[in-house]
Amino acid sequence: MTRLRGVALVACIVAAASLGGWRLGVARRSTAPDSTTSNATDALVTRAVDGDTIVVRHDDGVVETVRLLGVDTPEIHHPTKPVQCFGPEAAAFARRALTGRRVHLESDVETHDKYGRRLAYVIVDGRRFDDVLLREGYGRLLVIAPNGSHARVMLQEELAARRARRGLWGACEPR
């Protein structure tokens, strides 16, 4: 009976390690921008509305508002909320980093929100800007299902910013 338990334990360990390796592989693949997806496009950023919303113009002249996926920056234009701590800094950072730049927009499962805004990860120079906002402490992770392709990596970015007390994590009182 003891030998059977030992074999069962080894089988469980091997199964867990295999599953862990598979999941890690999936997570690594999901961190790289996919330029081959049919729902991905390039555009020019004409304006940063705030830290997590931009306006872009496509090569065909179409202008659309894009809400960045996976991140929520403090409010500066909310109709019922005051300007939130670190909101102006997040908006200024997005304005400096994105205005006038060509970006690659990568959609997830849902492509538009209830306000008609395009939902996308914004890639600049091969890096997701959404991650940069989290890493530098300009926003919090916000995953609204089913759009969560990069949630694990993005959570790691936010946790690193929290530990280092970067951005809003060092400047604002905890909510």
End-to-end CA distance of the chain: 54
**Residue type for position 123:** I
d(C-alpha 127, C-alpha 131), whole Å: 8
Choosing from 75, 106, 157, 158, which is the catalytic residue?
A: 75
From 67, 118, 128, 140, active-site residue: 67
Q: Give the CA angle between residues 100, 103, 109 to the nearest 5°.
A: 140
Give the Cα separation of 172 and 175 in Å (integer): 8
Instruction: Give the CA distances from residue 51 to residues 20, 61, 139, in Å, rounded to whole numbers and listed in that order.
Output: 35, 24, 8
Known active-site residue 127? no
Contact 77, 49 (CB under 8 A): yes
Crossing angle (nearest 10°) for helices 151-164 and 2-31: 90
Specify whether 117 is catalytic: yes
DSSP 8-state class, residue 58: -
Catalytic residue among 89, 106, 117, 140: 117
Q: Which residues are catalytic?
A: 67, 75, 117
